[in-house]
Amino acid sequence: MKKRKMGLALSFVLAAGTLLGACGKTNDNAAPKNKDNKKAFSVGMVTDVGGIDDKSFNQSAWKGLQEFGKEHNMKKGTGGYDYLQSQSDADYATNLNNLAHQGFNLVFGIGFMMSKDVDKIAKQIPNTKFAIVDDEVKEPNVASILFKENEGSFLAGVAAGLTTKSNKIGFIGGMQSAVIERFESGFVAGVKASNPKATVDIQYASSFTDAAKGQAIASRMYSSGDDVIFAAAGATGNGLFKEARDRKAKNPNQQIWAIGVDSDQSAEGVVTAGGKQTNVIITSAMKRVDNAVKDLSTKTMNGQFPGGKTTVYGLAEDGVGLAPINPDDPAKAAIEKAVSDWTAKIKSGAVKVPATRAELQKFNPKQ
C-alpha cells in the first residue's frame, strides 16, 4: 500500500515537472512583447532561387523589409523581420512553413514560382497571414501583389528606341510567364512609340539564375547588330551586363548598351574602356517590390491586411518606374523629355500600355 502511494506521488511530481517544463519552453519561444504588453508585429519573407543578392527582384524585396523593420525599431530575427533563402523550388514550402511556425505574423513569398506552395501552406496554417508577389492566391489569409511591369518597361523601351543607332534592339526574358510577358509587351510598345523603324529581337533563357546563358544570348544579339539589350530575367541578366562590359573594354568605340531591371542596376555597367571609366547601362526598368513590401507590411501591422484581395502597383502608385538616365548616353536629354511626357499620359489614362502580346498587336502609340 505504501509503495502504491509513493508511486502515485512520484507520478504527480513527474507530471508537474513535465507541465512546468512545457510551459517554460512555450515562454522561451513566445514572440517579444511591446511596451503595451502586446505581441510585437513580425514579418518574414522567403526568397525564390535568385536569393537576396540577385541585384534584382529578391534584393529589392529584402531592401523594403529591412527599411520597414528599421522604421519600426524592429530587430532582425524571430519576433522582428527576417528572411529564408531558397536554394531550389523544393525549399519553398519548407521555408514558408518554418517562418509561420516561428510565429511571424506576415510571411511573404517572393515570386510567382512560389504561388502553389503559398496556397498549400496558407490552407494548412490559417492563422498566419501570407502574401504572394507576382501571382494571385485566392485564400482569405493571403494577400496578392501584382505590378504593371508593362508601364515601367514601356519607358525603358522609349529609352532604347531613342538610343539605338542600328535600329536593332534585343530583349532577353527569363522564363515564359504572364509577368515576363508584361515586361516584353510594354518594352516593345515603348520602342515602337519612340522609334517606329526599330525592331526587337526577343529570346528567352528559360531561367532566372543562369548568367552564363544570359551572356551567351547577349553575345549573339550584339554580334548580329543589336546595340541595345534589355533583360527581364533576374540573375540571368547579370550575364548581359558582363558581355556588355567585356565588349566595351575590348573596343571603347563600340556603341553598345544594356538596360537593367527591377532595381537600379547602374553599378553593374561600370567599366574602364580606353583608359576612361564609362557605363554601359542606360537605365533600369524599376519594379518597386521594396515599396510594395513596405506598404503591405504597414497595412497588416495596422490591422488592414487585404486578405483574399489583389493589390496592383503601377506608375500611379509608385510601383514601377525608370531609374535615372545615364549621362554617358548622347540621347539623355531627349529620353528624359520623352519619358516625362509618356509618364504623364500613362498616369492620366490617356495611354493604355499593352500587357500581353495580343494587346501589343492592337497598340497604337498615337491613341
Q: What CATH number has the domain bearing residue 201? A: 3.40.50.2300
Examine residue 97 and state whether it is found in any structural domain, yes or no: yes
Whether residue 161 contacts residue 194, with contact meaning beta carbons closer than 8 Å, is answered with yes
Nearest-CA neighbor of 32 among 65, 66, 73?
Answer: 73
Evaluate if residue 67 carries a pLDDT over 90: yes
- In this structure, is residue 367 part of a structural domain? no
92 with 166, same domain: the answer is: no
- Is residue 321 a part of any domain in this protein? no
Query: Is residue 33 domain-resident?
Result: no
pLDDT at 290 (0 to 100): 94
Does pLDDT of 156 surpass 50? yes
For residue 302, the enclosing domain spans 43-147+290-313
* Domain shared by 139 and 160, yes or no: no
User: How far, in Å, CA of 166 to CA of 200, rounded?
Assistant: 11
- Kindly state whether residues 73 and 100 are assigned to the same domain: yes
For residue 226, is pLDDT > 50? Answer: yes
Residues 241 and 206 in one domain: yes
- pLDDT above 90 covers a percentage of the chain that reads 83
Domain presence at residue 335:
yes
Q: Is the pLDDT of residue 5 over 70?
A: no
For the stretch 338-348, pLDDT in tens is: 999 999 999 99
pLDDT category of residue 57 using cuts at 50, 70 and 90: confident
367 or 110, greater pLDDT: 110
Structure confidence by residue, pLDDT tens digits, 95-151: 999 999 999 999 999 999 999 999 999 999 999 999 999 999 999 999 999 999 999
- Let me know how long the chain is: 367
| Mean pLDDT confidence for 313-333 | 96
Q: Are residues 205 and 272 in the same domain?
A: yes
pLDDT beyond 60 at 6: no
Q: Does 348 share its domain with 224? A: yes
* 109 shares its domain with 153: no
Banded pLDDT at 53 (limits 50, 70, 90): confident
Work out the average pLDDT over 289-314.
Answer: 96
Same domain, 153 and 105: no
| Confidence label for 12 from pLDDT (cuts 50, 70 and 90) | very low
pLDDT for position 366: 79
Do 273 and 229 have their domain in common? yes
Say yes or no: 82 and 129 in one domain. yes
Query: Is residue 75 included in any domain, yes or no?
Result: yes
Structural domain tally of the chain? 2
Q: Does some domain include residue 26?
A: no
How much is the pLDDT for 367?
66
Kindly give the interhelix angle for 115-124 and 92-101, rounded to the nearest 10 degrees: 40
Same-domain status, 136 and 214: no
Residues 13-39: what's their mean pLDDT? 39
Helix, strand, or coil (residue 272):
strand
Residue 235 shares a structural domain with residue 262: yes
The predicted model scores a pTM of 0.83
The pLDDT confidence band at residue 14, using thresholds 50, 70 and 90, is: very low
Does residue 1 form part of some domain?
no
Non-local (6+) Cβ contacts of 189 within 8 A are 150, 154, 157, 353, 354, 360, 363, 365
3-state secondary structure 12-51: HHHHHHHHHHHHHHHHHHCCCECCCCCECCCEEEECCCCC
